[in-house]
Structure formats: C-alpha cells, structure tokens
Homo-oligomer: A and B are copies of this chain.
Amino acid sequence: MRPRIADVWGAILADAFAGKPSQEIVERDDGFVMAFDASYLLAPFEDWDDADERRAMRFVRGRVLDVGCGGGRVCLQLQKRGLGVVGIDSSQGAVAVSIDRGVRDARVLDVDAVDPSLGLFDTVVMLGQNFGMLGSRTRARRLLERFALVTTPRGRIVAETFNPHALDDPVQQKYRERNLRRGRMPGQLRVRVRYRDLATRWLDWLQVSPEELVQLLEGTGWQLARTLGNGPSYIAILEKVEPRGNARRP
C-alpha cells in the first residue's frame, strides 16, 4: 500500500505545535531517504541553530513576502521587528498553525499564484531551504520573473539553498550524473515528503551552487549580490539588476 497524498506539512506542523515529536522524512526517487526533526519549524529566532539564517534576517527590509511560511517562524520574527509581512504557504494546515501562533497575515497560496494583487514587496524570503521550491531551471526562471513583478525597484530575495556539489560520496555523485544525463540540473531532486501515513506528491526540489545560481539568474532581472555561509547550505541575497540606461550617476 502507498502512503496517502495529503497535507503533510500541515500534519507535521500541527503535531509539532501540539508538542509531539515529529520528523519530516524526505524520500528521493533513487530510494535515498533523510529525516529531519521538525522542531526547527517552530523555533523562535533566538533558537535558530543556523547562524547564517539569523544573519540573513538583517538583509530583510520593508514589506516582506515569506514564501512557504510553514509554522510562521520567519513571519513572527519580522512582525516583532515591526515589518509588514505576508506569509504564503500551499499547506492549509501550515497557515492554520501560523495564524494560531500569531502571524497576522498568512494565506493559503501556492507560489505559482503570486501576482501583483498581493501588492509590492521590498523583500521576498525563502529561508529553510525554500529556494528548493523553484523546482527546475524553467520553473525557477518563471518564478523569479514573477517575483520581479511583485517587488519594488530596491527589491531583494533572501533565499536559502544547498550546494549539491559539496557532497562527494558516490551515491550523490551518481544522482547528479543521472540528472545531467536527463537534461535536469545536477541538484534537481525528485522528492516527496512523508510523515506517518501521509505523503506529498513527487515534486522537483532545486539545489544550486553559487555558480549555477549566477547562470540561472541571467535575464530574470535578478543578480547575486552576495552569499552568506561557508557550508554546503548557504543563503543567497539577490538584488534587482539596474535597468539599462538607468545606472546610478556618480
């Protein structure tokens, strides 16, 4: 029997919020599995164990769109700082937990449905590896162009990803090579998340090196301003390319 397709993130977050131990189990299409304790999803800023994430929050300014807000940990911290923030998540259960925890504006919305009706943002945040949501080369470029439309000229994207080339064990190498042979990006993971008897659908989860990111951004209106972090996991700060003929005067 197969796991039931359902709101996995909602179930994980509801259990974590109720104080139950819960883990997200990520299964890749080559049979590779990983488990992550879900408590980080609800951690207050002070307890974020990724120092780069805490540091990245300094780059968040103005009106903010938190893409994949989960249990609202990023929204809550930004609200505390007095910023206006809209959290979106495709999981109804995640949004329910965010609201319960005090997020003032969390909406059930797929990243594909982001459009100017949400208003303009100064920063788009994708922490917690949420860059992965961009999925594939094509989808990433489409969504980045979409983000350009909903951001101000000083718009910024603060996104966390993972350099897939940093893992040199044979299993990971083989997976990247298989992806390349199939015309996919090396770090384009085909995964689903499982929890208890539930699973998400299989989806593409994109991981890129800084070099791959620079290439990916070409023509999207975004450029890599800087990266934070020295590990395989790192945070990219993207800023808008100044439009042609609009360069700053000395």
Cα A229 to Cα B80 with chains together (Å): 44
**Copies of this chain, how many?**
2
Q: List the B side residues contacting A29 at CB < 8 Å.
A: 1
Please tell me if the beta carbons of A32 and B197 are within 8 angstroms of each other in the complex.
Answer: yes
Cα A30 to Cα B198 with chains together (Å): 10
Query: Nearest residue in B to A1 (C-beta to C-beta)?
Result: B30
Q: List the B side residues contacting A147 at CB < 8 Å.
A: none
Q: Report the count of interface residues on A (CB-CB < 8 A).
A: 20
- Residue of A1, A2, A23, A197 contacting most chain B CB atoms (<10 Å): A197
Please tell me if the beta carbons of A33 and B25 are within 8 angstroms of each other in the complex.
Answer: yes
Question: Nearest-CB distance from A200 to chain B (Å)?
Answer: 13
Cα A175 to Cα B35 with chains together (Å): 23
Please tell me if the beta carbons of B171 and A30 are within 8 angstroms of each other in the complex.
Answer: no
- Residue of A30, A32, A199 contacting most chain B CB atoms (<10 Å): A32
Q: List the B side residues contacting A139 at CB < 8 Å.
A: none
Cα A3 to Cα B29 with chains together (Å): 9
Choose one: B4, B32, B34, B37; the contact of A37 (CB below 8 Å): B37
Query: Nearest residue in B to A199 (C-beta to C-beta)?
Result: B31
Any B CB within 8 A of the CB of A194: yes
Any B CB within 8 A of the CB of A196: yes
Any B CB within 8 A of the CB of A162: no
Cα A183 to Cα B199 with chains together (Å): 29
Cα A239 to Cα B75 with chains together (Å): 58
Which residues of A from 167 to 197 have beta carbons under 8 Å from B?
171, 194-197
Query: Nearest residue in B to A38 (C-beta to C-beta)?
Result: B35
Question: Nearest-CB distance from A178 to chain B (Å)?
Answer: 9
Cα A23 to Cα B34 with chains together (Å): 8
Q: List the B side residues contacting A35 at CB < 8 Å.
A: 23, 25, 35
Cα A195 to Cα B73 with chains together (Å): 29
- The answer to whether A197 and B1 touch (CB under 8 A), given A23-B23, A37-B37, is no
4 tightest A-B CB contacts, nearest first: A3-B31, A35-B35, A23-B35, A1-B30
User: A25-B33, A33-B195 provided; 15 other pairs, C-beta below 8 A?
Assistant: A1-B29, A1-B30, A3-B31, A3-B32, A3-B33, A4-B31, A23-B35, A25-B25, A25-B35, A31-B199, A32-B197, A33-B196, A37-B37, A171-B196, A171-B197
